Amino acid sequence: MEIVRRRELWIHTHFVTDCVRLSQAQGREIEAALLPVLRQQHIVYGMHFEESRHDPGIRIVLECIPLRGVLDQIEAALRRIIAPIPAKPAPVQTVTVEPHISNAPPPSVVL
């Protein structure tokens, strides 16, 4: 996954990614990895994830707008954190299996 754009909207910083789908576990991993970076910069605000009809990717939203130098450091750390996450999850193929019908008599039960 990569950050394709950064937007500052009202009091939040949006990192727009190229990620199509993000699991809750991946979101928790991103948040846990970024939290020490935020704390190191004395940022106590949280983050969350959003989808927008205006952008095709998942947004990682920092609930503040830090100073430019700090924001650049946070973005660099975030890029390293999300780099191993695939932008598009592997496709899942659905297989429907019908029960096997046999001409053999049903097994008997011995008690």
Where residue 14 falls among pLDDT bands split at 50, 70, 90?
very high
Q: Is the pTM of this model over 0.75?
A: no
Instruction: State the Cα–Cα distance between residues 7 and 43, nearest whole angstrom.
Output: 18
Taking only the tens place, the pLDDT of each residue in 28-83 is 999 999 999 999 999 999 999 998 888 788 999 999 999 999 999 999 999 999 99
Angle subtended by helix axes 68-82 and 24-40, to nearest 10 = 150
With a cut of 90, say whether residue 100 has pLDDT above it: no
Alpha-carbon dihedral of residues 75, 60, 80, 28, nearest 10 degrees?
140
Q: Helix, strand, coil % (nearest 5) of the chain?
A: 30, 25, 45
Where residue 92 falls among pLDDT bands split at 50, 70, 90?
low
Looking at residue 61, its amino acid is V
pLDDT value of residue 102? 67
Residue range 3-82, CATH number:
3.30.70
**Mean pLDDT across 10-34:** 93
